Amino acid sequence: MNGRVSILTRYICWRVLVYFLAFMGIMVVFFVFVDFMEHIERVTRDHASLRPLALYYACLLPKVAVEVSWVGLLVSVLFVLGSLAKNNEFTALLAGGISIYRVGMPVLIIGAFLALSVFCVREFVVPEAMLRVYEIKESDFASEVSQNEVFDIAGIGRRNRFYYFDVVDVKRGVLTGVHIHTTKGGLITERIDAEKGLWEKDERRWYLKNGSAKKFDSRGIVLEDMTFASMKAPFRESPETLKVYSAGMNELSFRQLRRQIRNLEGSGYDARRLKVDYYAKFSLPAANLIVVFLALPFALECRRGGLLIGFALSLMAALLYYGAFQMSLALGKGGFFPAPVSVWLANFLFLGVGTGLTMRART
């Protein structure tokens, strides 16, 4: 029995990995082709060299891989287990005393390993890679501004300064809702708030308008409190650079997000949206485990309806899962659910559905 199980485990793992790598390769090639077609006019017009193009797509691949990994695993598990079910090999295994749970164990192990790998890549590789992607996109071959206004930009600058802008109008060079905090030892020592900031192209610097500046001691007592009609901003990043930072905000690691949340909440601001992004860093990789519970019962449907039916059902489940996940994130950012609930709601819902379907189809 143990020998048969060992052979079965190796067989399933090998075939799932082969299908998974093949699917990921197809998806990467497809994505690169579509993205290149989207930028081809700009690339040819500006005579972009091969080196920045190659670097752009090399840095983009980790992001693409982690985004589609769960779909790749879903399709791979379906094809492997579906073929076993279609050829009545599942029936023979069950008749030989091997349970459906034992058959699914190798896939669960792969899913767990993939979930951990996705988390590590998103944490340690994607942030730096995507920052490079945005820099290349802005400077080398795709610098056309596709969005004039960007919202909720936060960043950490020099001398322990923390910046937050409600709106950045890239085309007009206008900031709305400017908040600048200087910290020391985790305490705010200086705070600047302004209604807006204006970019002076000739001087290449920002001027803050209609605001206040306060300085605090170590106990939080106000030492200085002044208002101003206009003052030079303590940062010189251009509107285009701030736009790049805003794009990079979506790719922050969970450690960077945690730091941003603490700074915002310590300054009295609502960090609800960032909290949702923070908890999503942990729930998104778990999708690679959830899809195993969805693929297993749908693969068993191949015994009755064929591989095509099981494939269609799994894709429908993937679309429903993705839609439910995005909807729950939006509800969390809107304040309808606590952040931890919003990011895990879809996972637990579909885990329950998949587990229930697997238990129904276990024989």
Span 269-283, pLDDT tens digits: 677 888 898 999 999
- For residues 94 and 166, membership in a common domain is answered with no
Domain presence at residue 139: no
pLDDT tier at 139, thresholds 50, 70, 90: low
Q: What is the mean pLDDT of residues 239-255?
A: 68
With beta carbons less than 8 A apart as the criterion, state whether 59 and 276 touch.
no
Of the chain, the percentage scoring pLDDT greater than 70 comes to 77
What DSSP designation does 171 have? Answer: T
- For residues 49 and 156, membership in a common domain is answered with no
Judged against a pLDDT cut of 50, whether residue 171 lies above it is answered with: yes
Domain presence at residue 140: no
Put the strands of the sheet holding 149-156 in their side by side order: 149-156, 161-169, 174-184, 187-200, 205-216, 222-232
Q: Which of 156, 176, 343 is nearest to 258 (CA)?
A: 156
What DSSP designation does 301 have? Answer: T
Residue listed under structure tokens 């820099």: 135
Question: What pLDDT shows up at residue 133?
Answer: 82
pLDDT tier at 145, thresholds 50, 70, 90: very low
Tell me which of 40-54, 76-90, 192-206, 304-318 is least confident. Answer: 304-318
Of the chain, the percentage scoring pLDDT greater than 90 comes to 28
The overall pTM is greater than 0.85: no
* Residue 89: domain span: 2-129+280-360
Domain count, the chain: 2
- For residues 172 and 55, membership in a common domain is answered with no
Tell how many helices (H) and how many strands (E) occur in the chain.
Answer: 12, 6
Question: What pLDDT shows up at residue 20?
Answer: 94
**Residue type for 197, please?**
G
- For residues 323 and 231, membership in a common domain is answered with no
Domain boundary among 238, 269, 300: 269
Domain presence at residue 228: yes
- For residues 248 and 334, membership in a common domain is answered with no
Judged against a pLDDT cut of 70, whether residue 293 lies above it is answered with: yes
- For residues 119 and 151, membership in a common domain is answered with no
pLDDT tier at 198, thresholds 50, 70, 90: very high
Q: What is the mean pLDDT of residues 198-215?
A: 92
Question: What pLDDT shows up at residue 269?
Answer: 65
Tell me which of 176-185, 257-266, 300-309 is least confident. Answer: 300-309
Q: What is the mean pLDDT of residues 343-351?
A: 92
Domain presence at residue 248: yes
- For residues 191 and 309, membership in a common domain is answered with no
Domain presence at residue 101: yes
- For residues 65 and 103, membership in a common domain is answered with yes
**Mean of all residue pLDDT scores within the chain:** 81
Judged against a pLDDT cut of 80, whether residue 105 lies above it is answered with: yes
Question: What pLDDT shows up at residue 305?
Answer: 56
Q: What is the mean pLDDT of residues 250-265?
A: 75
Q: What is the mean pLDDT of residues 230-244?
A: 80
Comparing 262 with 31, which gets the higher pLDDT?
Answer: 31
Question: What pLDDT shows up at residue 21?
Answer: 94
The residues near 159 (Cβ < 8 Å, ≥ 6 apart) are 182
Question: What pLDDT shows up at residue 245?
Answer: 61
Domain boundary among 241, 269, 297: 269
Domain boundary among 269, 291, 312: 269
- For residues 284 and 210, membership in a common domain is answered with no
Residue listed under structure tokens 């309806």: 305
Domain presence at residue 356: yes
Q: What is the mean pLDDT of residues 219-247?
A: 81
Comparing 303 with 86, which gets the higher pLDDT?
Answer: 86
- For residues 204 and 97, membership in a common domain is answered with no
Question: What pLDDT shows up at residue 22?
Answer: 94
Domain presence at residue 342: yes
Rounded to the nearest 5 percent, the helix, strand and coil shares of the chain are 65, 20, 20
- For residues 254 and 194, membership in a common domain is answered with yes
Instruction: Express each pLDDT in 47-92 by its tens digit.
Output: 667 788 888 899 999 999 999 999 899 888 888 887 777 766 666 7
Domain presence at residue 136: no
- For residues 215 and 332, membership in a common domain is answered with no
Question: What pLDDT shows up at residue 325?
Answer: 92
